[in-house]
Each structure stands twice: as structure tokens, then as C-alpha cells.
């Protein structure tokens, strides 16, 4: 499955549009990750735990979007957009959503 942020692919022709497909992932933050991230905020550096969770949420959202496109008969998803939001009291949850246009390409 081809997944691209571009609306077309050079040398390939779209033969059918299936419409918008999407995938979402919502992950909760762990208390210990929050504690260590707070310490890093004070002393500087990157929060590896948060970066790992962010990548995991992105992968889940993209995989869900891809599975929806496959069910429709698409072989590509174009114009993909990723959105990141924090949810819950004190931003304790992370939501990643992926959406794009499912197409059949030659």
C-alpha cells in the first residue's frame, strides 16, 4: 500500500477514488513517564518515553487508515494528513489521527 502526503504520484494514474479514510489512536500518559519528562524539562534534553509513545500512536493511526483503504479495494492513500492533540484533564492523553484519500492507481 502506497501512503503519501502528496495528492498524486509521478508516473502513476488514479483510476478510482474511494473517498476519505482515517485512523485514530489515543494513548494515555504514564505517571513515571510524566515525572521523568518533567525532570528533562527542568534540566533540558529530550523525553525518549514520550517520543516513543508518539511514534507508536502515529503507527497505529496510519495502520488503521491503511486497513480501511484495503477493505475498500484501494492500493494507495494520498494527501495524508496527521494531526496530534492532547486530551483529558491536564493533557494526560495523546490522540493522533491520520486521514487521506483512498484511491486505486495503475
Angle at 74 between CA 81 and CA 24, to 5 degrees: 35
| Window from 7-11, 63-67, 91-95 with minimum mean pLDDT | 91-95
Global pTM reads 0.80
Q: Which residues partner with 86 through β-bridges?
A: 94
Closest CA to 27 of 47, 65, 63, 55: 55
pLDDT level of residue 100 (50, 70, 90 thresholds): very high
Interval 5-62: pLDDT, tens: 999 999 999 999 999 999 999 887 654 455 455 555 545 556 666 777 788 899 999 9
Give residues with Cβ within 8 angstroms of 28, minimum separation 6.
Answer: 88, 92, 93, 94
C-alpha grid cell, residue 49? 518515553
Q: Residue holding cell 528533562?
A: 40
Amino acid at each position: 500500500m502506497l501512503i503519501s502526503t502528496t495528492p498524486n504520484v509521478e508516473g502513476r494514474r488514479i483510476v478510482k477514488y474511494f473517498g476519505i479514510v482515517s485512523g485514530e489512536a489515543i494513548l494515555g500518559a504514564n505517571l513515571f513517564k510524566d515525572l521523568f519528562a518533567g525532570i528533562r524539562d527542568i534540566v533540558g534534553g529530550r523525553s525518549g518515553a514520550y517520543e516513543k509513545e508518539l511514534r507508536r500512536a502515529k503507527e497505529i493511526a496510519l495502520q488503521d487508515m491503511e486497513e480501511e483503504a484495503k477493505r475498500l479495494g484501494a492500493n494507495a492513500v494520498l494527501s495524508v494528513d496527521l494531526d496530534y492533540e492532547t486530551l483529558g484533564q491536564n493533557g494526560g492523553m495523546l490522540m493522533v489521527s491520520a486521514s487521506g484519500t483512498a484511491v486505486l492507481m495503475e
